[in-house]
Amino acid sequence: MGLDSAGNPKFSITTPLYYVNDLPHIGSAYTTIAADVIARFQRLKGVPVLMITGTDEHGQKIQRTAEARQKSPQAHCDEIVVGFKSLWQQLNITYDRFSRTTAPRHQAIVTEFFQRVWAQGDIYEGHQQGWYCVACEEFKEERDLLPEHRCPIHTNKAVEWRDEQNYFFRLSKYQPQLEKFYADQPDFIQPPSRRNEVLSFVGQGLQDFSISRVNLDWGFPMPTNPQHTLYVWFDALLGYVTALLEPDDEPTLDNALQRWWPIQTHLIGKDILRFHAVYWPAMLMSAGLPLPGRVFGHGFLTKDGQKMGKSLGNTLDPVDLAERYGADAVRYYFLKEIEFGKDGDFSETRFIHVLNADLANDLGNLLNRTLKMAGRYCQGQVPDVTEAQIPADYDLKSKGKYLAATVAAAYEALAFSQACDAILGLIRSGNKFLDEKAPWSLYKQGQQVETERVLYAVLESVRLAAYLLSPVVPGLAQAIYQQLGLTADFNDRAIGQTLAYSTHSCWGYLPARQPLGKAEPIFQRIELASE
Ligand code: MSP
């Protein structure tokens, strides 16, 4: 967590800036959903948030894609960007800034940053020879290549031999400083497996890397030698900084860094860890800037146990998934089902099973049947009970009291599946409790007080679950609050003020005798195609 100048907390988070060689794939959707969940959780707590996403539009890969489509690179990028923005809307992503690396003000930031690094003497001319993967936009070590010089990540693509004059960044100079930094900030790289990976990479000795290209037009000219084009990664990482400018700011580093720097969390996939955890901090050290709070590298998604790829014909289209099942379903599945940081799988059968079990049955049915009982036994109002009147031996109450602390710790640690499990745990207890207490029998026996207590305890548990789950499934949380007769807008950036965390995260908030809304299924059961 960062602090503003008055010592109040603030929070900034980034997704990678995605290549626009194609429409967004499920991997981009996965990171962006995760970032949105953290951003929403921080807003829920009332912390000012800046969430950054965007697109990485320069370099050979984009230039070639545009050529193949017979478009100008800029026209190509403009088209693909529409696809990204529309998917983010479809998935209910509440980003604050969309950083495009072709923006003119980005060039001003890159130029100024470059000059700082140049002034440090950290850029020199040299000779670059090696195998280059255009899809990764990265040189590869010969020992890491697959047979026929194929890239280990883009396994169907051959790397290309390069032999040219380039400018280099003196990464090797920063090795001791980086090692000290990793030791002083043990949480900088997460999860620990990724940290170990980086420590061992750095421990082998860092080599300078080239930050300019010849024979490439699509990028910014190098400020000190315009015959060269700046390497796409040098430009792209700075897209995070450009994004910090207010709309009316002059594009200077000082302006960009004033309010939100340093960024607290960079969320990325494991394949771009080195860029973020090694190159980026070294570049920042060279420019004399403070370093980001943490880099979290999540795992890779597979489909039905297989690596996904266009050539394999088994990609998972996030647009199609969101159209068929809705934002909440997609968001919930990936965060609940996959331990963040580890690789995970998507199978449609599993997807449908998880959603039906958790959202339609456990959560949806519990609310639905309890609301109907409250309609019959309590005149359609929240039972006339206060939290203090609920007996201490109701386990819903004791579990509900601790839930927010557990869930908040899980969100802070980006342990999304743990957060969801803890919340669903309360819901499952709610179902059990309802079956055991059987308020329908209590009511028939004339035990009105006990009936109302039971129904209150369940409704309040569903409310609390909805509130704490709202970063993951904002649409569902909204529907639950509405049916409980509460006014809420879970997409409001100022939610921390409108639904104060200090009251809404506590079990017992639900106001007695409040008119309840109409009971309607909040999540329609999905039928398996074969059923
Ligand atoms: N443009 C760079 C990032 C620059 S950031 C300054 C880039 N873009 S990308 O579009 O290729 O990758 C975006 C993200 O998608 C990466 O974090 C990558 O890890 C992630 N994924 C790509 N395939 C994935 C899966 N199959 N599963 C999960 N994430 C995956 O890299």
Average pLDDT (48-63) is 96
Helix pair angle (366-377, 416-437), 10° resolution: 40
Ligand 1 atom with minimal separation from the 269 CA: 19
Alpha carbon distance 434, 136 (integer Å): 54
Domain span including residue 367: 347-504
Ligand 1 pocket residue status of 31, Cβ below 6 Å? yes
Dihedral angle of Cα 158, 295, 407, 494, to the nearest 10 degrees: -110
Q: How high is the pLDDT of residue 309?
A: 76
Q: How high is the pLDDT of residue 7?
A: 79
**Is 354 domain-assigned?**
yes
Alpha carbon distance 32, 98 (integer Å): 12
**Is 10 domain-assigned?**
no
Alpha carbon distance 361, 373 (integer Å): 17
Residue type, 315: T
The residue among 88, 50, 57 whose CA lies nearest residue 72 is 57
Among 13, 21, 23, 25, name the best residue to mutate to test ligand 1's pocket (greatest count of ligand atoms within 8 A of Cβ). Answer: 25
Q: Cα Rg for the chain, rounded, in angstroms?
A: 26
Ligand 1 pocket residue status of 318, Cβ below 6 Å? no
Ligand 1 pocket residue status of 345, Cβ below 6 Å? no
The residue among 520, 524, 454, 437 whose CA lies nearest residue 484 is 520
The domain total for the chain is 1
Confidence class for position 240, pLDDT limits 50, 70, 90: very high
Q: Give, using CA atoms, the residue closest to atom 30 of ligand 1.
A: 27
147 or 334, higher pLDDT: 334
Q: How high is the pLDDT of residue 281?
A: 98
Cis? peptide before 191, omega within 30° of 0 = yes
For residue 216, count other CB atoms closer than 10 A to its CB: 16
The residue among 39, 13, 30 whose CA lies nearest residue 474 is 39
Looking at residue 158, what DSSP letter applies?
A: B
Tell me the CA–centroid distance for residue 203 and ligand 1, in Å.
Answer: 25
**Is 439 domain-assigned?**
yes
- pTM for the full model? 0.97
Alpha carbon distance 126, 209 (integer Å): 10
Tell me the CA–centroid distance for residue 27 and ligand 1, in Å.
Answer: 6
CATH of the domain at 443: 1.10.730.10
Tokens found for residue 72 = 């100008």
* Alpha helices (H) in 278-415, listed in sequence order: 280-287, 318-325, 327-337, 348-354, 366-377, 395-412
Tell me the CA–centroid distance for residue 25 and ligand 1, in Å.
Answer: 9
Chain centroid to CA 49:
13
Please check whether residue 54 is in contact with residue 17, taking contact to mean a CB–CB distance below 8 angstroms: yes
**Is 16 domain-assigned?**
no
Ligand 1 atom with minimal separation from the 28 CA: 15
Pairing mode of beta strands 294-298, 265-269 = parallel
Cis? peptide before 9, omega within 30° of 0 = no
Average pLDDT (179-201) is 98
Average pLDDT (2-25) is 91
**Is 464 domain-assigned?**
yes
**Is 340 domain-assigned?**
no
pLDDT tens, position by position, 283-304: 999 999 999 999 999 999 999 9
309 or 349, higher pLDDT: 349
The residue among 528, 516, 521, 443 whose CA lies nearest residue 483 is 516
Portion of the chain with pLDDT greater than 90, in percent: 91
**What are the φ/ψ torsions at residue 12 (nearest 5 degrees)?**
-125, 140
Ligand 1 pocket residue status of 251, Cβ below 6 Å? no
**Is 367 domain-assigned?**
yes
Tell me the CA–centroid distance for residue 342 and ligand 1, in Å.
Answer: 15
Alpha carbon distance 505, 463 (integer Å): 9
Average pLDDT (257-270) is 97
| DSSP three-state, residue 241 | helix
Ligand 1 pocket residue status of 57, Cβ below 6 Å? no
Q: How high is the pLDDT of residue 530?
A: 56
Average pLDDT (174-198) is 98
pLDDT tens, position by position, 435-486: 999 999 999 999 999 999 999 999 999 999 999 999 999 999 999 999 999 9
**Is 319 domain-assigned?**
no
pLDDT tens, position by position, 94-136: 999 999 999 999 999 999 999 999 999 999 999 999 999 999 9
Average pLDDT (155-162) is 89
Confidence class for position 531, pLDDT limits 50, 70, 90: very low
Average pLDDT (220-224) is 97
Ligand 1 pocket residue status of 271, Cβ below 6 Å? yes
Of 4-13, 98-107, 115-124, 500-509, which range is least confident? 4-13
Alpha carbon distance 418, 415 (integer Å): 5
Confidence class for position 179, pLDDT limits 50, 70, 90: very high
Tokens found for residue 530 = 């074969």
Please check whether residue 341 is in contact with residue 191, taking contact to mean a CB–CB distance below 8 angstroms: yes
Ligand 1 pocket residue status of 18, Cβ below 6 Å? yes
Please check whether residue 34 is in contact with residue 298, taking contact to mean a CB–CB distance below 8 angstroms: yes
